[in-house]
Amino acid sequence: MAAVTLLEARGLTRHFDGLKAVDGVDFDLTEGEIHALIGPNGAGKTTFVSLLSGRIPAQSGTIRFAGRDITRLPAHARVRAGIAYTFQITQIYGALTVFDNVALAVQSRHSHRLSDDAMEALARVGLEGRANQTAGTLSYGHQRLIEVAMGLALKPRLLILDEPTQGLAQGEIESFKDIVRSVVPEATVLLIEHNMDVVMDLAHRITVLNFGQVLATGTPDAIRANKAVQTAYLGG
């Protein structure tokens, strides 16, 4: 079966006071893949996914998602179109229960199966037994998983995960990798991650950003062998 392009960005640009955070990036996501976005600190990764999710407007360039031009769509409309973005810094409602956090995500897509869908999302990340706990009392790692459950509860076609393993213990990282694998091919995953073991283990393809531009795109083996990537990021 021929690969289907889910998201296509062309010439995407965003500058801040002369800083070229994202500088003319061309980027493609194939439906049903796990695609990792890596690069040094300050390479433009979070700005780039913020452009894709609509949290920051692009200054130039275009974004097409599922064949539709979404370049000017606001973030909430992109969520409805099927793009879910979990943040680099945990964004949960600490005073609410774990269940209520996920139920809010379910409610936002006007599901008639609120309780069932929320519990299904919690079960996928292994938190169904903590549904009635106050979210703010959970460990940082479990709070990250609540956020992933909130993303899954949106039933997205594209799930963007920004530094999801940050602060997780090794055992939690192994569980997280299983969760991500379970998402595809039902959804496509775009993963920003500094843990290279996670990247190389999970990703079908990897794009490397450096100084706001694409340095390389390819399979994990191709990226590992790329001399320019070794020099800029992998320490080779």
Measured CA to CA in angstroms, residue 173 lies from 8, 80, 105, 234 at distances of: 30, 29, 24, 21
The predicted-structure confidence for 170-181, as pLDDT tens digits, reads as follows 888 998 899 999
Tally the domains of the chain: 1
Q: What is the pLDDT of residue 38?
A: 95
Q: What is the pLDDT of residue 2?
A: 67
Percentage, residues of the chain above pLDDT 70: 96
Strand pairing of 205-210 and 188-192? unpaired
* Higher pLDDT among residues 94 and 3, named by residue: 94
Token duo for residue 81: 């179109």
- Domain region containing 57: 5-13+21-234
Q: Quote the pTM value.
A: 0.91
Determine the 3-state secondary structure of 67 from DSSP. Answer: coil
- Give residue 182's Cα distance to chain centre: 15
The predicted-structure confidence for 55-104, as pLDDT tens digits, reads as follows 999 999 999 999 999 999 999 999 999 999 886 556 788 999 999 999 99
Query: How is the chain split among helix, strand and coil, in percent rounded to 5?
Result: 40, 30, 35
- pLDDT category at 167 given cuts 50, 70, 90 is confident
CATH of the domain at 121: 3.40.50.300
Give φ, ψ of 44 to 5 degrees: 105, 10
Instruction: Look up tokens 């275009």; give the residue.
Output: 62
Q: How far apart are CA 85 and CA 75, in angstroms?
A: 10
Those residues whose C-beta lies under 8 Å from the C-beta of residue 129, and which sit 6 or more positions away, are none
